[in-house]
Structure 1
Amino acid sequence: MSNAWFATIASVTVVSLVSLIGAFVIAVHDRRSEDEEYSPFMHFLIALAVGALLGDAMIHLLPEAFAEAGQIASLYVGGGFIVFLILEKFLHWRHHHRQQVKNRIEPVGVMNLVGDGLHNFIDGALIAASYLISFPIGLATTIAVVLHEIPQELGDYAILRSAGFSKRSAIFFNFVSALFAIVGAVVVLSTTINVIATAPLILAFTAGGFIYIVLILLKKLGEELTASRTFGHIASIVLGILLMWALKFIE
Protein backbone atom coordinates (compact mmCIF):
# COMPACT_ATOMS: atom_id res chain seq x y z
CA MET A 1 0.00 0.00 0.00
CA SER A 2 2.87 2.42 0.81
CA ASN A 3 4.29 1.92 -2.69
CA ALA A 4 0.86 2.64 -4.16
CA TRP A 5 0.66 5.85 -2.11
CA PHE A 6 4.08 7.06 -3.26
CA ALA A 7 3.49 6.22 -6.93
CA THR A 8 0.00 7.74 -6.91
CA ILE A 9 0.97 11.02 -5.23
CA ALA A 10 3.98 11.38 -7.54
CA SER A 11 1.81 10.74 -10.59
CA VAL A 12 -1.04 13.11 -9.66
CA THR A 13 1.53 15.79 -8.80
CA VAL A 14 2.91 15.50 -12.34
CA VAL A 15 -0.64 15.67 -13.69
CA SER A 16 -1.28 18.82 -11.62
CA LEU A 17 1.89 20.49 -12.90
CA VAL A 18 0.64 19.99 -16.46
CA SER A 19 -1.82 22.82 -15.69
CA LEU A 20 1.09 25.27 -15.98
CA ILE A 21 1.69 24.39 -19.64
CA GLY A 22 -0.89 26.85 -20.95
CA ALA A 23 0.64 29.75 -19.03
CA PHE A 24 4.16 28.80 -20.13
CA VAL A 25 3.27 28.52 -23.83
CA ILE A 26 1.44 31.85 -23.86
CA ALA A 27 4.18 33.56 -21.85
CA VAL A 28 6.80 32.42 -24.38
CA HIS A 29 4.65 33.46 -27.35
CA ASP A 30 3.49 36.82 -25.97
CA ARG A 31 6.10 37.69 -23.35
CA ARG A 32 6.15 41.35 -24.41
CA SER A 33 2.40 41.82 -24.46
CA GLU A 34 0.35 42.99 -21.48
CA ASP A 35 -2.92 42.38 -23.33
CA GLU A 36 -2.29 38.95 -24.81
CA GLU A 37 -5.92 37.95 -24.16
CA TYR A 38 -6.79 39.96 -27.27
CA SER A 39 -4.10 38.44 -29.48
CA PRO A 40 -4.86 36.08 -32.39
CA PHE A 41 -2.84 33.40 -30.60
CA MET A 42 -5.11 33.67 -27.55
CA HIS A 43 -8.19 33.34 -29.77
CA PHE A 44 -6.60 30.29 -31.39
CA LEU A 45 -6.18 28.71 -27.94
CA ILE A 46 -9.77 29.52 -26.96
CA ALA A 47 -11.00 27.87 -30.17
CA LEU A 48 -8.71 24.92 -29.44
CA ALA A 49 -10.27 24.73 -25.97
CA VAL A 50 -13.74 24.60 -27.55
CA GLY A 51 -12.68 21.63 -29.66
CA ALA A 52 -10.93 19.94 -26.72
CA LEU A 53 -13.91 20.40 -24.39
CA LEU A 54 -16.39 19.24 -27.03
CA GLY A 55 -14.20 16.31 -28.04
CA ASP A 56 -13.62 15.37 -24.41
CA ALA A 57 -17.35 15.37 -23.70
CA MET A 58 -18.45 13.56 -26.88
CA ILE A 59 -15.56 11.14 -27.40
CA HIS A 60 -14.42 10.33 -23.86
CA LEU A 61 -16.82 11.31 -21.07
CA LEU A 62 -20.23 10.49 -22.57
CA PRO A 63 -19.36 7.07 -24.09
CA GLU A 64 -17.75 5.99 -20.81
CA ALA A 65 -20.64 7.31 -18.72
CA PHE A 66 -23.31 5.59 -20.83
CA ALA A 67 -21.32 2.35 -21.05
CA GLU A 68 -21.00 2.13 -17.27
CA ALA A 69 -24.21 3.77 -16.02
CA GLY A 70 -26.68 3.25 -18.86
CA GLN A 71 -29.50 5.64 -19.73
CA ILE A 72 -29.54 7.19 -16.25
CA ALA A 73 -26.40 9.04 -17.35
CA SER A 74 -28.53 11.20 -19.66
CA LEU A 75 -30.22 12.73 -16.60
CA TYR A 76 -26.83 13.68 -15.20
CA VAL A 77 -25.78 15.23 -18.51
CA GLY A 78 -28.90 17.38 -18.43
CA GLY A 79 -28.32 18.07 -14.76
CA GLY A 80 -24.79 19.27 -15.42
CA PHE A 81 -26.03 21.53 -18.22
CA ILE A 82 -28.76 23.04 -16.01
CA VAL A 83 -26.50 23.48 -12.98
CA PHE A 84 -23.92 25.34 -15.08
CA LEU A 85 -26.73 27.46 -16.56
CA ILE A 86 -27.89 28.37 -13.04
CA LEU A 87 -24.29 29.05 -12.00
CA GLU A 88 -23.82 31.44 -14.93
CA LYS A 89 -27.06 33.30 -14.18
CA PHE A 90 -26.14 33.55 -10.50
CA LEU A 91 -22.70 34.96 -11.31
CA HIS A 92 -24.23 37.44 -13.77
CA TRP A 93 -26.73 38.52 -11.10
CA ARG A 94 -23.96 38.84 -8.51
CA HIS A 95 -21.85 41.02 -10.81
CA HIS A 96 -24.90 43.11 -11.75
CA HIS A 97 -25.41 43.96 -8.09
CA ARG A 98 -21.74 44.78 -7.58
CA GLN A 99 -21.20 47.47 -10.19
CA GLN A 100 -18.33 48.94 -8.18
CA VAL A 101 -16.14 45.94 -8.98
CA LYS A 102 -13.50 47.17 -11.40
CA ASN A 103 -12.13 43.99 -12.90
CA ARG A 104 -15.21 41.96 -13.71
CA ILE A 105 -14.72 38.21 -14.03
CA GLU A 106 -16.92 36.57 -16.65
CA PRO A 107 -18.91 33.52 -15.42
CA VAL A 108 -17.38 31.23 -18.07
CA GLY A 109 -14.05 31.40 -16.25
CA VAL A 110 -15.54 30.22 -12.95
CA MET A 111 -17.57 27.50 -14.69
CA ASN A 112 -14.48 26.23 -16.46
CA LEU A 113 -12.69 25.92 -13.12
CA VAL A 114 -15.63 23.99 -11.63
CA GLY A 115 -15.86 21.59 -14.57
CA ASP A 116 -12.12 21.11 -14.73
CA GLY A 117 -11.95 20.51 -10.98
CA LEU A 118 -14.54 17.71 -11.20
CA HIS A 119 -12.71 16.19 -14.16
CA ASN A 120 -9.38 16.32 -12.31
CA PHE A 121 -10.93 14.73 -9.21
CA ILE A 122 -12.02 11.72 -11.28
CA ASP A 123 -8.62 11.55 -13.00
CA GLY A 124 -6.89 11.38 -9.62
CA ALA A 125 -9.30 8.71 -8.40
CA LEU A 126 -8.73 6.61 -11.52
CA ILE A 127 -4.94 6.88 -11.20
CA ALA A 128 -5.09 5.80 -7.55
CA ALA A 129 -7.38 2.86 -8.32
CA SER A 130 -5.06 1.80 -11.14
CA TYR A 131 -1.99 1.77 -8.89
CA LEU A 132 -3.89 -0.34 -6.36
CA ILE A 133 -4.23 -2.95 -9.11
CA SER A 134 -0.61 -2.85 -10.30
CA PHE A 135 2.22 -0.43 -10.99
CA PRO A 136 2.22 -0.91 -14.82
CA ILE A 137 -1.53 -0.22 -15.02
CA GLY A 138 -1.14 2.86 -12.82
CA LEU A 139 1.71 4.18 -14.95
CA ALA A 140 -0.24 3.58 -18.17
CA THR A 141 -3.25 5.42 -16.72
CA THR A 142 -1.04 8.34 -15.67
CA ILE A 143 0.47 8.67 -19.16
CA ALA A 144 -3.01 8.59 -20.72
CA VAL A 145 -4.24 11.31 -18.33
CA VAL A 146 -1.21 13.54 -18.99
CA LEU A 147 -1.61 13.25 -22.76
CA HIS A 148 -5.31 13.96 -22.33
CA GLU A 149 -4.66 17.06 -20.22
CA ILE A 150 -2.05 18.80 -22.39
CA PRO A 151 -4.35 20.10 -25.18
CA GLN A 152 -7.07 20.98 -22.67
CA GLU A 153 -4.74 22.89 -20.35
CA LEU A 154 -3.50 24.99 -23.28
CA GLY A 155 -7.03 26.27 -23.68
CA ASP A 156 -7.91 26.51 -19.98
CA TYR A 157 -5.43 29.31 -19.31
CA ALA A 158 -6.67 31.18 -22.38
CA ILE A 159 -10.28 30.84 -21.18
CA LEU A 160 -9.42 32.26 -17.76
CA ARG A 161 -7.46 35.19 -19.23
CA SER A 162 -10.24 36.03 -21.67
CA ALA A 163 -12.73 35.83 -18.78
CA GLY A 164 -10.93 38.62 -16.95
CA PHE A 165 -8.50 36.78 -14.68
CA SER A 166 -5.09 38.38 -14.27
CA LYS A 167 -2.03 36.40 -15.33
CA ARG A 168 -1.20 35.43 -11.76
CA SER A 169 -4.76 34.59 -10.74
CA ALA A 170 -5.29 32.52 -13.92
CA ILE A 171 -2.17 30.47 -13.15
CA PHE A 172 -3.09 30.15 -9.46
CA PHE A 173 -6.73 29.11 -9.87
CA ASN A 174 -5.97 26.78 -12.76
CA PHE A 175 -3.35 25.08 -10.59
CA VAL A 176 -5.78 24.85 -7.65
CA SER A 177 -8.30 23.20 -9.98
CA ALA A 178 -5.59 20.75 -11.06
CA LEU A 179 -4.87 19.88 -7.42
CA PHE A 180 -8.29 18.22 -7.21
CA ALA A 181 -6.55 15.26 -8.85
CA ILE A 182 -4.63 14.84 -5.60
CA VAL A 183 -7.88 15.09 -3.61
CA GLY A 184 -9.47 12.36 -5.73
CA ALA A 185 -6.43 10.13 -5.31
CA VAL A 186 -6.31 10.58 -1.53
CA VAL A 187 -10.03 9.82 -1.19
CA VAL A 188 -9.57 6.50 -3.01
CA LEU A 189 -6.42 5.53 -1.11
CA SER A 190 -7.49 6.54 2.40
CA THR A 191 -11.23 5.84 2.60
CA THR A 192 -13.71 3.08 1.88
CA ILE A 193 -15.80 5.38 -0.30
CA ASN A 194 -16.27 3.76 -3.70
CA VAL A 195 -15.55 6.81 -5.86
CA ILE A 196 -15.01 4.66 -8.94
CA ALA A 197 -18.59 3.36 -8.75
CA THR A 198 -19.99 6.89 -8.98
CA ALA A 199 -17.37 8.12 -11.48
CA PRO A 200 -19.55 7.50 -14.60
CA LEU A 201 -22.29 9.74 -13.20
CA ILE A 202 -19.80 12.46 -12.27
CA LEU A 203 -18.34 12.23 -15.78
CA ALA A 204 -21.83 12.59 -17.29
CA PHE A 205 -22.48 15.65 -15.10
CA THR A 206 -19.12 17.14 -16.11
CA ALA A 207 -19.86 16.50 -19.80
CA GLY A 208 -23.10 18.46 -19.48
CA GLY A 209 -21.17 21.34 -17.93
CA PHE A 210 -18.50 21.22 -20.63
CA ILE A 211 -21.17 21.37 -23.36
CA TYR A 212 -22.64 24.49 -21.77
CA ILE A 213 -19.19 26.10 -21.55
CA VAL A 214 -18.65 25.32 -25.25
CA LEU A 215 -21.84 27.21 -26.14
CA ILE A 216 -20.66 30.28 -24.21
CA LEU A 217 -17.20 30.20 -25.79
CA LEU A 218 -18.70 29.83 -29.28
CA LYS A 219 -20.71 33.00 -28.66
CA LYS A 220 -17.51 34.75 -27.57
CA LEU A 221 -15.66 33.61 -30.70
CA GLY A 222 -18.62 34.71 -32.81
CA GLU A 223 -17.72 38.31 -32.03
CA GLU A 224 -14.81 37.93 -34.48
CA LEU A 225 -16.56 38.49 -37.81
CA THR A 226 -13.66 38.55 -40.28
CA ALA A 227 -13.55 35.63 -42.70
CA SER A 228 -9.92 34.75 -41.93
CA ARG A 229 -10.52 34.75 -38.16
CA THR A 230 -13.68 32.66 -38.55
CA PHE A 231 -11.86 30.09 -40.69
CA GLY A 232 -9.02 30.00 -38.18
CA HIS A 233 -11.44 29.42 -35.32
CA ILE A 234 -13.16 26.55 -37.13
CA ALA A 235 -9.80 24.96 -37.97
CA SER A 236 -8.70 25.26 -34.32
CA ILE A 237 -11.95 23.70 -33.08
CA VAL A 238 -11.56 20.79 -35.50
CA LEU A 239 -7.94 20.38 -34.36
CA GLY A 240 -9.06 20.19 -30.73
CA ILE A 241 -11.64 17.52 -31.56
CA LEU A 242 -9.13 15.52 -33.60
CA LEU A 243 -6.61 15.62 -30.74
CA MET A 244 -9.22 14.17 -28.38
CA TRP A 245 -10.16 11.55 -30.97
CA ALA A 246 -6.51 10.56 -31.47
CA LEU A 247 -6.11 10.01 -27.73
CA LYS A 248 -8.68 7.20 -27.92
CA PHE A 249 -6.09 5.09 -29.72
CA ILE A 250 -3.39 5.88 -27.15
CA GLU A 251 -5.62 5.10 -24.18
Structure 2
Amino acid sequence: MSFNNIFKCTDKSKIMSTTTYILASVILVSLVSVLAAIPLLIKKKTSHKVLVFLMSISVGTMLGSVFIHFMPEILETGYTLTTALYILIGFMTFFLVEKIVHWHHNKKCEQESGHSHAYHLAPLNLIGDGIHNFMDGLVIAGSYIVSIPLGISATISIIFHEVPQEIADFGVLLYSGLSKLKAIVFNLLSALTAVLGAIVGILLTKQEGFNTFVIPFAAGSFIYIAASNLVPELHRQCKLTDTIIHILAISLGIGLMVILLILSPEHAHQ
Protein backbone atom coordinates (compact mmCIF):
# COMPACT_ATOMS: atom_id res chain seq x y z
CA MET A 1 0.00 0.00 0.00
CA SER A 2 1.57 3.31 -1.06
CA PHE A 3 1.62 6.34 1.24
CA ASN A 4 -0.68 8.42 -0.95
CA ASN A 5 -3.35 5.73 -1.10
CA ILE A 6 -3.52 4.99 2.61
CA PHE A 7 -6.77 6.76 3.28
CA LYS A 8 -8.63 5.81 0.12
CA CYS A 9 -10.17 3.05 2.22
CA THR A 10 -13.07 4.57 4.16
CA ASP A 11 -13.85 1.50 6.22
CA LYS A 12 -14.44 2.95 9.71
CA SER A 13 -13.83 -0.37 11.44
CA LYS A 14 -10.38 -0.58 9.83
CA ILE A 15 -9.53 2.96 10.94
CA MET A 16 -10.67 2.17 14.49
CA SER A 17 -8.62 -1.04 14.46
CA THR A 18 -5.51 0.87 13.39
CA THR A 19 -6.08 3.50 16.09
CA THR A 20 -6.46 0.75 18.69
CA TYR A 21 -3.17 -0.81 17.59
CA ILE A 22 -1.44 2.57 17.80
CA LEU A 23 -2.69 3.45 21.28
CA ALA A 24 -2.12 -0.07 22.63
CA SER A 25 1.44 -0.05 21.31
CA VAL A 26 2.45 3.33 22.73
CA ILE A 27 0.89 2.45 26.10
CA LEU A 28 2.87 -0.81 26.04
CA VAL A 29 6.07 1.09 25.26
CA SER A 30 5.32 3.52 28.11
CA LEU A 31 4.71 0.67 30.57
CA VAL A 32 7.91 -1.07 29.51
CA SER A 33 9.78 2.19 30.09
CA VAL A 34 8.52 2.32 33.68
CA LEU A 35 8.89 -1.41 34.41
CA ALA A 36 12.50 -1.26 33.24
CA ALA A 37 13.28 0.81 36.33
CA ILE A 38 12.08 -1.87 38.79
CA PRO A 39 15.57 -3.36 39.34
CA LEU A 40 16.75 0.04 40.59
CA LEU A 41 13.68 0.40 42.81
CA ILE A 42 14.41 -2.87 44.59
CA LYS A 43 18.13 -2.07 44.77
CA LYS A 44 19.14 -4.79 42.35
CA LYS A 45 21.70 -3.81 39.76
CA THR A 46 20.78 -4.94 36.27
CA SER A 47 23.56 -7.00 34.69
CA HIS A 48 25.54 -4.96 32.18
CA LYS A 49 25.72 -8.03 29.95
CA VAL A 50 21.93 -8.25 29.89
CA LEU A 51 21.67 -4.59 28.87
CA VAL A 52 24.27 -5.05 26.13
CA PHE A 53 22.42 -8.15 24.89
CA LEU A 54 19.20 -6.12 24.67
CA MET A 55 21.05 -3.34 22.86
CA SER A 56 22.40 -5.88 20.37
CA ILE A 57 18.89 -7.18 19.67
CA SER A 58 17.77 -3.56 19.31
CA VAL A 59 20.43 -2.97 16.63
CA GLY A 60 19.09 -5.95 14.70
CA THR A 61 15.41 -5.02 15.04
CA MET A 62 16.00 -1.39 14.08
CA LEU A 63 18.17 -2.10 11.05
CA GLY A 64 15.82 -4.95 10.15
CA SER A 65 12.87 -2.58 10.35
CA VAL A 66 14.61 -0.08 8.08
CA PHE A 67 15.79 -2.44 5.34
CA ILE A 68 13.11 -5.14 5.50
CA HIS A 69 9.97 -3.13 6.29
CA PHE A 70 10.50 0.63 5.79
CA MET A 71 12.56 0.66 2.57
CA PRO A 72 10.08 -1.35 0.47
CA GLU A 73 7.35 1.13 1.45
CA ILE A 74 9.62 4.06 0.61
CA LEU A 75 10.72 2.62 -2.74
CA GLU A 76 7.12 1.86 -3.72
CA THR A 77 6.45 5.58 -4.07
CA GLY A 78 9.76 6.31 -5.77
CA TYR A 79 13.02 7.36 -4.15
CA THR A 80 13.48 11.10 -4.71
CA LEU A 81 15.64 13.90 -3.34
CA THR A 82 12.77 14.80 -1.01
CA THR A 83 12.70 11.25 0.33
CA ALA A 84 16.45 11.36 0.97
CA LEU A 85 16.11 14.67 2.81
CA TYR A 86 13.32 13.24 5.00
CA ILE A 87 15.62 10.34 5.96
CA LEU A 88 18.40 12.80 6.80
CA ILE A 89 15.99 14.96 8.82
CA GLY A 90 15.12 11.89 10.89
CA PHE A 91 18.82 11.17 11.39
CA MET A 92 19.66 14.76 12.38
CA THR A 93 16.63 15.15 14.66
CA PHE A 94 17.64 12.20 16.81
CA PHE A 95 21.25 13.40 16.68
CA LEU A 96 20.12 16.66 18.31
CA VAL A 97 18.05 14.83 20.92
CA GLU A 98 21.04 12.66 21.81
CA LYS A 99 23.16 15.81 22.08
CA ILE A 100 20.79 17.04 24.80
CA VAL A 101 20.94 13.68 26.59
CA HIS A 102 24.74 13.47 26.36
CA TRP A 103 25.07 17.04 27.58
CA HIS A 104 23.33 16.29 30.88
CA HIS A 105 25.26 13.02 31.22
CA ASN A 106 28.49 15.00 30.86
CA LYS A 107 27.27 17.35 33.57
CA LYS A 108 26.77 14.32 35.78
CA CYS A 109 30.36 13.20 35.21
CA GLU A 110 31.69 16.68 35.99
CA GLN A 111 29.87 16.73 39.33
CA GLU A 112 30.63 13.23 40.59
CA SER A 113 32.82 14.77 43.31
CA GLY A 114 29.80 16.55 44.77
CA HIS A 115 26.00 16.77 44.43
CA SER A 116 25.53 20.48 45.07
CA HIS A 117 24.09 21.13 41.59
CA ALA A 118 23.08 17.60 40.61
CA TYR A 119 19.37 18.48 40.83
CA HIS A 120 19.76 20.38 37.55
CA LEU A 121 20.11 17.03 35.80
CA ALA A 122 16.46 16.05 36.39
CA PRO A 123 14.76 18.63 34.13
CA LEU A 124 17.38 18.15 31.41
CA ASN A 125 16.87 14.40 31.51
CA LEU A 126 13.08 14.71 31.44
CA ILE A 127 13.12 17.18 28.54
CA GLY A 128 15.46 15.05 26.44
CA ASP A 129 13.67 11.81 27.25
CA GLY A 130 10.26 13.40 26.74
CA ILE A 131 11.18 14.65 23.26
CA HIS A 132 12.62 11.24 22.41
CA ASN A 133 9.48 9.42 23.58
CA PHE A 134 7.20 11.90 21.79
CA MET A 135 8.93 11.15 18.50
CA ASP A 136 8.77 7.42 19.23
CA GLY A 137 4.99 7.79 19.48
CA LEU A 138 4.93 9.76 16.24
CA VAL A 139 6.93 7.05 14.47
CA ILE A 140 4.72 4.26 15.83
CA ALA A 141 1.54 6.04 14.69
CA GLY A 142 2.90 6.77 11.23
CA SER A 143 4.08 3.18 10.83
CA TYR A 144 0.70 1.69 11.76
CA ILE A 145 -1.08 4.04 9.37
CA VAL A 146 0.91 2.51 6.52
CA SER A 147 0.34 -1.09 7.66
CA ILE A 148 -0.15 -3.12 10.83
CA PRO A 149 3.04 -5.22 10.33
CA LEU A 150 5.07 -2.04 9.82
CA GLY A 151 3.69 -0.66 13.08
CA ILE A 152 4.46 -3.86 14.97
CA SER A 153 7.99 -3.80 13.54
CA ALA A 154 8.54 -0.23 14.77
CA THR A 155 7.06 -1.03 18.19
CA ILE A 156 9.28 -4.07 18.75
CA SER A 157 12.37 -2.10 17.75
CA ILE A 158 11.53 0.77 20.10
CA ILE A 159 10.79 -1.54 23.04
CA PHE A 160 14.20 -3.24 22.83
CA HIS A 161 15.83 0.18 22.68
CA GLU A 162 13.80 1.63 25.56
CA VAL A 163 14.76 -0.90 28.27
CA PRO A 164 18.47 -0.02 28.61
CA GLN A 165 17.72 3.63 27.81
CA GLU A 166 15.14 4.01 30.58
CA ILE A 167 17.27 2.21 33.17
CA ALA A 168 20.03 4.74 32.51
CA ASP A 169 17.61 7.69 32.62
CA PHE A 170 16.02 6.51 35.86
CA GLY A 171 19.48 6.27 37.40
CA VAL A 172 20.11 9.90 36.43
CA LEU A 173 16.88 10.99 38.15
CA LEU A 174 17.90 9.22 41.35
CA TYR A 175 21.38 10.76 41.12
CA SER A 176 19.83 14.21 40.78
CA GLY A 177 18.37 13.85 44.27
CA LEU A 178 14.79 12.81 43.51
CA SER A 179 13.18 10.22 45.75
CA LYS A 180 12.33 6.86 44.19
CA LEU A 181 8.63 7.73 44.18
CA LYS A 182 9.19 11.09 42.46
CA ALA A 183 11.62 9.50 40.01
CA ILE A 184 9.13 6.82 39.00
CA VAL A 185 6.31 9.39 38.63
CA PHE A 186 8.43 11.70 36.47
CA ASN A 187 9.68 8.73 34.48
CA LEU A 188 6.07 7.69 33.82
CA LEU A 189 5.11 11.23 32.76
CA SER A 190 8.08 11.34 30.42
CA ALA A 191 7.15 7.94 28.98
CA LEU A 192 3.55 9.06 28.41
CA THR A 193 4.73 11.70 25.94
CA ALA A 194 4.84 8.75 23.53
CA VAL A 195 1.03 8.65 23.78
CA LEU A 196 0.90 12.37 22.99
CA GLY A 197 3.18 11.78 20.00
CA ALA A 198 0.90 9.00 18.77
CA ILE A 199 -2.19 11.20 19.06
CA VAL A 200 -0.45 13.97 17.14
CA GLY A 201 0.57 11.39 14.54
CA ILE A 202 -3.03 10.20 14.15
CA LEU A 203 -4.22 13.79 13.69
CA LEU A 204 -1.46 14.62 11.21
CA THR A 205 -2.39 11.73 8.93
CA LYS A 206 -5.12 13.99 7.56
CA GLN A 207 -2.49 16.51 6.49
CA GLU A 208 -1.28 16.14 2.92
CA GLY A 209 2.32 14.99 2.77
CA PHE A 210 2.59 13.60 6.30
CA ASN A 211 2.39 9.98 5.20
CA THR A 212 5.19 10.48 2.67
CA PHE A 213 7.31 12.06 5.42
CA VAL A 214 6.91 9.86 8.48
CA ILE A 215 8.33 6.54 7.19
CA PRO A 216 11.53 8.04 5.71
CA PHE A 217 11.84 10.08 8.93
CA ALA A 218 11.47 6.89 10.97
CA ALA A 219 14.06 5.13 8.81
CA GLY A 220 16.56 7.94 9.40
CA SER A 221 15.93 7.94 13.14
CA PHE A 222 16.34 4.16 13.41
CA ILE A 223 19.57 4.25 11.38
CA TYR A 224 20.96 6.91 13.72
CA ILE A 225 19.97 5.10 16.93
CA ALA A 226 21.30 1.74 15.73
CA ALA A 227 24.52 2.85 14.03
CA SER A 228 25.54 5.93 16.03
CA ASN A 229 24.03 5.32 19.45
CA LEU A 230 24.01 1.56 20.05
CA VAL A 231 26.82 0.08 17.94
CA PRO A 232 29.54 2.23 19.61
CA GLU A 233 28.42 0.81 22.97
CA LEU A 234 28.90 -2.72 21.63
CA HIS A 235 32.45 -1.86 20.55
CA ARG A 236 33.33 -1.23 24.20
CA GLN A 237 33.32 -5.01 24.69
CA CYS A 238 36.21 -6.45 22.69
CA LYS A 239 36.40 -10.07 23.84
CA LEU A 240 35.75 -12.74 21.24
CA THR A 241 32.89 -14.24 23.26
CA ASP A 242 31.27 -10.80 23.57
CA THR A 243 31.57 -10.24 19.82
CA ILE A 244 29.96 -13.61 19.10
CA ILE A 245 27.08 -12.78 21.45
CA HIS A 246 26.64 -9.39 19.76
CA ILE A 247 26.49 -10.97 16.31
CA LEU A 248 24.02 -13.63 17.45
CA ALA A 249 21.80 -11.06 19.18
CA ILE A 250 21.84 -8.71 16.18
CA SER A 251 20.99 -11.67 13.94
CA LEU A 252 18.14 -12.56 16.31
CA GLY A 253 16.76 -9.03 15.98
CA ILE A 254 16.96 -9.19 12.19
CA GLY A 255 15.38 -12.64 12.28
CA LEU A 256 12.41 -11.27 14.22
CA MET A 257 11.83 -8.71 11.48
CA VAL A 258 12.08 -11.39 8.78
CA ILE A 259 9.56 -13.59 10.61
CA LEU A 260 7.22 -10.62 11.00
CA LEU A 261 7.44 -9.97 7.25
CA ILE A 262 6.72 -13.62 6.40
CA LEU A 263 3.70 -13.69 8.73
CA SER A 264 2.27 -10.39 7.46
CA PRO A 265 -0.91 -10.56 5.32
CA GLU A 266 0.71 -8.38 2.64
CA HIS A 267 3.53 -10.90 2.18
CA ALA A 268 1.10 -13.82 2.11
CA HIS A 269 -0.72 -12.30 -0.86
CA GLN A 270 2.43 -11.60 -2.88
Task: Give 3-state SS (helix, strand or coil) of 2:44's partner.
Answer: coil
Which residue does the alignment assign to 1:17?
27
Which residue does the alignment assign to 1:176?
193
Which residue does the alignment assign to 1:131?
none
For residues 33 and 40 of structure 2, what CA distance do their matches in structure 1 show? Answer: 10
CA contact (8 A) 2:61 2:156 kept: no
Size of the alignment, in residue pairs? 231
CA contact (8 A) 2:86 2:217 kept: yes
For residues 212 and 147 of structure 1, what CA distance do their matches in structure 2 show? Answer: 17
One-letter amino acid of the structure 2 residue matched with residue 16 of structure 1: V
CA contact (8 A) 1:121 1:185 kept: yes
1:79–1:63 distance in 2 versus 1, CA, 3 Å: same
Partner deviation per Cα, 1:54-111 (whole Å, 9 max, x = no partner)? 1112222233123224222122222332343344445545766796346585999677
One-letter amino acid of the structure 1 residue matched with residue 244 of structure 2: F
Question: Which of 122, 132, 143 in structure 1 is aligned with 2:142?
Answer: 122
Cα displacement (A) at 1:204:
1.1
For residues 96 and 27 of structure 1, what CA distance do their matches in structure 2 show? Answer: 22
For residues 90 and 216 of structure 2, what CA distance do their matches in structure 1 show? Answer: 8
Which residue does the alignment assign to 1:155?
161
CA contact (8 A) 1:64 1:200 kept: no
1:241–1:172 distance in 2 versus 1, CA, 3 Å: farther
CA contact (8 A) 2:58 2:253 kept: yes
**Residue 241, structure 1, aligned to residue 254, structure 2:** yes
CA contact (8 A) 2:65 2:257 kept: yes
What TM-score results when the alignment is normalised by the length of structure 2? 0.66
1:78–1:9 distance in 2 versus 1, CA, 3 Å: closer
One-letter amino acid of the structure 1 residue matched with residue 23 of structure 2: T
Task: Give 3-state SS (helix, strand or coil) of 2:238's partner.
Answer: coil
For residues 177 and 120 of structure 1, what CA distance do their matches in structure 2 show? Answer: 9
Cα displacement (A) at 1:53:
1.3
Which residue does the alignment assign to 1:78?
88
For residues 232 and 199 of structure 2, what CA distance do their matches in structure 1 show? Answer: 33
Task: Give 3-state SS (helix, strand or coil) of 1:193's partner.
Answer: coil
For residues 94 and 152 of structure 1, what CA distance do their matches in structure 2 show? Answer: 22
Cα displacement (A) at 1:122:
0.7
What TM-score results when the alignment is normalised by the length of structure 1? 0.70
Question: Which of 190, 210, 213 in structure 1 is aligned with 2:225?
Answer: 213
CA contact (8 A) 2:149 2:261 kept: no
Q: Aligned ranges for residues 26-105 of structure 1 at < 5 Å?
A: 33-36=43-46, 38-72=47-81, 73-89=83-99, 92=102, 100-101=117-118, 103=121, 105=125
Partner deviation per Cα, 1:16-70 (whole Å, 9 max, x = no partner)? 232156458757889855332x432222111111111111122222331232242
One-letter amino acid of the structure 1 residue matched with residue 232 of structure 2: K
CA contact (8 A) 1:109 1:159 kept: no
One-letter amino acid of the structure 2 residue matched with residue 250 of structure 1: L
Task: Give 3-state SS (helix, strand or coil) of 1:225's partner.
Answer: coil
Which consecutive residues of structure 2, in runs of 5 or more, have no partner in the other structure? 1-10, 111-116, 174-182, 265-270
One-letter amino acid of the structure 2 residue matched with residue 193 of structure 1: Q
For residues 124 and 183 of structure 1, what CA distance do their matches in structure 2 show? Answer: 13
**Residue 193, structure 1, aligned to residue 210, structure 2:** no
Which residue does the alignment assign to 1:129?
none
1:213–1:150 distance in 2 versus 1, CA, 3 Å: closer
1:240–1:111 distance in 2 versus 1, CA, 3 Å: farther
For residues 111 and 222 of structure 1, what CA distance do their matches in structure 2 show? Answer: 27
1:33–1:92 distance in 2 versus 1, CA, 3 Å: closer
Which residue does the alignment assign to 2:176?
none
Q: Please identify, of 71-80 and 20-29, the stretch whose mean Cα deviation from structure 2 is larger.
A: 20-29
One-letter amino acid of the structure 1 residue matched with residue 54 of structure 2: L
